[in-house]
């Protein structure tokens, strides 16, 4: 069953890329850019100014967060990249292929990086963040995510926040012949029920949403800034935060490291050749940690839905406040202990709202 799921995932990605190639290269970008009225290069802003909230990162969660806060508070949104209008390739579906093929010259709307465990990856470097360089899949988080997230969710508010996002950026895709045939084959193969077009995470077969409209134009998180109160918000692009000054920092715990724990932490972890699979063969000796590490670095790849690092209960509390530090919150995918649904973008936008 797990192999079957992986196969479907790979096929879905292939179909999606094929769809991108079918779109006309003559599609004219049609984004709402009213937000540009309050977007400035960071060097053009005053060197000293006070705001109720400063948001570092104008990405998938940062844009809806800034918009929401601007209804009552003064907000400065800092983004290290430029506005997306300087990168025509991110504004339409065909340009997505550039993300997979182009190199990183330090000025692209995406940044290539290697994670600490050696996996090559990509993240946004443009106003709108990852929502401006991804494949545009939109599907809400699964119920188990909300149950285990460590947050006391108001599910009525969650529903309204999703809807607030969806009315601006989400479209119902028109399936091409190949996609329709693939969808039918899933149903014939027993992946039921047929849920039609639905933005919820459901068992069975469904057609999810897309932030690309049916002319191939992208509508990323940046367009949520159009809902902001323009008198209460400033967006600074090409703004790199060098440091954050803290006051009142207190110790919240100690790292326990003992000789006793060192003796038992890696016991009984000898590798066994318990299964076989197609592909690059596993190292002969799975007990050789170095060989396994090298194998993983050479063969593992990402599906771009990375998360964790500042998870709820360890780095932030249930209100996303950094534990032990006043007036600092983290609102992004690093707070997730698992990826919500089939794609985290919808939930990141909802969380910002």
Return the residue matching tokens 């996996």: 119
pTM: 0.81
8 A C-beta contact, residue 139 and residue 178 = no
- Report the pLDDT value the prediction gives residue 272, as an integer from 0 to 100: 43
pLDDT at position 248 over 90: no
Nearest one of 141, 137, 157 to 149, comparing CA atoms: 141
- Report the pLDDT value the prediction gives residue 154, as an integer from 0 to 100: 97
Instruction: Give domain status of residue 343, yes or no.
Output: yes
- Report the pLDDT value the prediction gives residue 183, as an integer from 0 to 100: 95
Dihedral pair phi/psi, residue 53, rounded to 5°: -135, 140
Q: How confident is the model at residue 243 (pLDDT cuts 50, 70, 90)?
A: confident
Dihedral pair phi/psi, residue 187, rounded to 5°: -65, -45
For 190-216, what is each residue's pLDDT tens digit? Answer: 999 999 999 999 999 999 999 999 999
Instruction: Give domain status of residue 250, yes or no.
Output: no
pLDDT at position 13 over 90: no
Point out which residues pair with 131 in neighbouring strands: none
Give dist(CA 144, CA 341) in Å, integer.
9
How many folded domains does the chain comprise?
A: 1
For 57-81, what is each residue's pLDDT tens digit? Answer: 999 999 999 999 999 999 999 999 9
Is the CA virtual torsion 23, 24, 26, 27 positive or negative? negative
CATH code (residue 74) = 3.50.50.60
- Report the pLDDT value the prediction gives residue 30, as an integer from 0 to 100: 72
* Dihedral, CA of residue 58, residue 63, residue 66 and residue 68, to nearest 10: -170
Instruction: Give domain status of residue 11, yes or no.
Output: no
Instruction: Give domain status of residue 191, yes or no.
Output: no
Instruction: Give domain status of residue 195, yes or no.
Output: no
For 16-49, what is each residue's pLDDT tens digit? Answer: 544 444 443 334 457 789 999 999 999 999 989 9
Instruction: Give domain status of residue 267, yes or no.
Output: no
Instruction: Give domain status of residue 202, yes or no.
Output: no
Instruction: Give domain status of residue 192, yes or no.
Output: no
Q: Which of 168-172, 261-265, 339-343 has the lowest mean pLDDT?
A: 261-265
Give dist(CA 146, CA 200) in Å, integer.
13
Give dist(CA 242, CA 102) in Å, integer.
28
Give dist(CA 213, CA 32) in Å, integer.
13
**pLDDT exceeding 70 applies to what percent of the chain?**
82
* Domain residue limits at 112: 28-173+208-245+283-352
């Amino acid at each position: 069953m797990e192999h079957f799921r992986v196969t479907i995932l790979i096929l879905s990605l292939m179909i999606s890329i094929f769809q991108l190639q079918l779109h006309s290269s003559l599609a004219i970008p049609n984004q709402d850019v009213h937000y540009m009225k309050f977007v400035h290069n960071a060097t053009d802003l005053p060197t000293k100014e006070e705001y109720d909230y400063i948001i570092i990162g104008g990405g998938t969660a940062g844009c809806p967060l800034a918009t929401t806060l601007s209804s009552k508070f003064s907000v400065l949104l800092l983004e290290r990249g430029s506005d997306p209008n300087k990168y025509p390739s991110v504004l339409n579906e065909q340009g997505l292929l550039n993300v997979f093929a182009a190199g990183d010259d330090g000025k692209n709307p995406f940044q290539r990086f290697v994670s600490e465990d050696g996996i090559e990856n990509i993240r946004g470097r443009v106003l709108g963040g990852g929502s401006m360089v991804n494949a545009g899949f939109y599907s809400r988080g699964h119920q188990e995510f909300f149950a285990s997230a460590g947050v006391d969710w108001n599910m009525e508010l969650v529903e309204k926040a999703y809807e607030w996002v969806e009315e601006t950026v989400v479209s119902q895709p028109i399936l091409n012949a190949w996609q329709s045939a693939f969808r039918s084959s899933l149903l014939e193969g027993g992946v039921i029920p047929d849920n039609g077009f639905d933005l919820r995470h459901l068992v069975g077969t469904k057609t999810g949403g897309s932030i690309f409209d049916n002319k191939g134009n992208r509508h990323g998180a940046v367009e949520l800034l159009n809902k902001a109160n323009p008198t209460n918000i400033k967006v600074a692009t090409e703004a790199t935060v060098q440091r954050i000054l803290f006051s009142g920092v207190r110790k919240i715990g100690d790292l326990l490291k003992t000789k006793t724990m060192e003796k038992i932490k890696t016991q009984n972890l000898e590798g066994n050749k318990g299964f076989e699979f197609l592909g690059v063969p596993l190292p002969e000796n799975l007990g050789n940690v170095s060989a396994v590490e090298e194998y993983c670095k050479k063969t593992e790849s990402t599906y771009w839905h990375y998360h964790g690092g500042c998870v709820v209960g360890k780095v932030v509390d249930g209100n996303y406040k950094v534990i032990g530090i006043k007036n600092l919150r983290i609102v992004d995918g690093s707070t997730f202990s698992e990826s919500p649904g089939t794609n985290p973008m919808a939930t990141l936008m909802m969380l910002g709202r």
